[in-house]
Structure 1
């Protein structure tokens, strides 16, 4: 009987959660993202001559809808000369008539990278385990790593420009984020979801304290909490949990929230809205809680008014739109690291 031929290749690098990387690796990814932003936006129209992904394809395997992640990934891939192929839940057999294992082996044999938005985190782990090309987690129910890289980049930009009193030009690329993030405090007010969990495994690691307020029945995974506390102990940051938004907001530099009703939870909307009464981010809440005088607001979008009112969302304190744009630059940095440079 023929034994065929071996198709085994070395395990490629993946980006499934920031928990897998050191603080310096994450901060270097952010710093590289900022350099890409300057190169593209502020050195424009100088043409980019390097197209390292020419002839290469990035598959976007998405089982959930997406706006920012899809646009960011497609434009980032194109910027490096590659082609992005969107494969939505209605386009392929993902987990329906074909197993995740089979899909991963088949798709990875034909492309050079996979950006996957899945449901359970075990799905992205299976895709990565069986893939012969780099896999990037575009969102799972446990983690959302590219979003939190964009958040770190946005916070760095804000702190840098505030500390240097810069309002008329972009200079964030002149300082490394290792110099701006340590010692800050982020207050989370909302659901104990994948965004908060990714914050917990990333922010304390780089020296940012996290205080999270969620209703009593909303809890983060035990392993995530353990990672957060261990990282905080090393860096001098703090990690606290409460059910009272005002307690979390005390002395906060940044207030963050997210949707209370995620995709697939629509039938729980009435129940969740009742449980989250008093959690809407408002100027009054920030004042009552004692946030720092120059506090700012972040939200990964899409936003609903019950989570944060218009006065905050559209105010000068709001960083939500730069935060959304930075999804492109941080995803570009991750793609460059995995598909061009061969690792993070």
Structure 2
């Protein structure tokens, strides 16, 4: 494993190793113990999209591990003035030990990975968000003490996070139910890949029915970055596809409520759901740091 571009790049063994390492890193950080295995190593962070959790967690993560992170706004480097992705990848490989990229097009990451001689990590694209899902799995493991044999219900847009969630559920052995309005289903190629990986996948437009006996309820914004022109239409189309107290009531008594943030209370999730006793949303956000540090150690230090 050289890169992490798709959730499908990971095997079940890889995921287990990353989660175990992340849990160890998290515990040692709480004790003030230092793991500086990336001393004298540098990470380039290419950002075409704005970010809170991704940028801060990767930058802090590299610092914690003894390394250095360089923020590269796409408009400030030559890629923003027409230099090819391929040339950028080859040049940065001469300076850095790894690259993360948060990009509009998944194809940019594919080109970076194919042309870089150093690890490339998907920090979000229009198709996937694997780093988010590793943090999610870490959170699920902390609360459920397992990552398999559960019912995972996604409510909302069949977007990039949903694509990665479907792949992850297939790999680890969770049933996945995707609940979305007609016309907003996940990309067919990810549906096919999920089934090829052995996933048990259902796609429906009936939230209350889908939420019955759920172990995990998960949502994301209805209007993602790049979809702003469709905002008015999307808000109408997604009405009724909200995680709220009604869905929680028909789920399992110990259901956990998840959201990858930023959240819009009153739209995709009610205030009572995100701020209530079933919510693990801010543990999720914290776990971005620990899961990504584990990925960095695995790819940059060979751990």
Aligned-residue CA RMSD (Å)? 1.4
SS across alignment from 2:78:
coil
The answer on 1:13 being equivalent to 2:6 is no
Offset from partner CA, 1:316-339 (integer Å, 9 cap, x none): 110000000000011000000000
1:247 deviation in Å?
2.4
Offset from partner CA, 1:296-324 (integer Å, 9 cap, x none): 10000000121101111101110000000
1:56 deviation in Å?
1.6
Q: What pairs up with 1:195-274 in 2 under 5 angstroms?
A: 195-232=161-198, 238-274=200-236
Please give the alpha-carbon distance, in whole angstroms, between the structure 2 residues aligned to 1:142 and 1:130: 20
TM-score (norm 1): 0.85
Aligned twin of 2:154: 188
SS across alignment from 1:77:
helix
Match of 1:138 among 111, 123, 130: 123
The answer on 1:40 being equivalent to 2:29 is yes
Aligned twin of 2:270: 309
Offset from partner CA, 1:86-134 (integer Å, 9 cap, x none): 0112321325321111211122221111011111111100011111211
Tell me if the contact between 1:232 and 1:239 (Cα under 8 Å) persists in the aligned partners: no
Please give the alpha-carbon distance, in whole angstroms, between the structure 1 residues aligned to 2:208 and 2:81: 45
The answer on 1:73 being equivalent to 2:58 is yes
Aligned twin of 2:102: 117
Aligned twin of 2:83: 98
Tell me if the contact between 1:209 and 1:232 (Cα under 8 Å) persists in the aligned partners: no
Aligned twin of 1:177: none
Larger radius of gyration: 1
Please give the alpha-carbon distance, in whole angstroms, between the structure 2 residues aligned to 1:246 and 1:230: 28
Match of 1:28 among 17, 22, 26: 17
Tell me if the contact between 2:257 and 2:280 (Cα under 8 Å) persists in the aligned partners: yes
- Of stretches 197-206 and 100-109 in structure 1, the one that deviates more from structure 2 is 100-109
**Which consecutive unaligned segments of at least 5 residues does structure 2 have?**
none
Offset from partner CA, 1:177-235 (integer Å, 9 cap, x none): xxx122111111000000010011111211111101111101222221122223336xx
Runs of 4+ aligned structure 1 residues displaced above 4 Å come to none
Aligned twin of 1:300: 260
Aligned twin of 2:114: 129
SS across alignment from 2:190:
helix
Aligned residues: 302
**Which consecutive unaligned segments of at least 5 residues does structure 1 have?**
1-11, 161-179
Offset from partner CA, 1:36-90 (integer Å, 9 cap, x none): 000111x22x4x2x52322221000110011111111111111111100001123
Offset from partner CA, 1:239-259 (integer Å, 9 cap, x none): 100011112212101100001
Tell me if the contact between 2:75 and 2:81 (Cα under 8 Å) persists in the aligned partners: no
Please give the alpha-carbon distance, in whole angstroms, between the structure 1 residues aligned to 2:22 and 2:38: 17
TM-score (norm 2): 0.96
The answer on 1:56 being equivalent to 2:22 is no
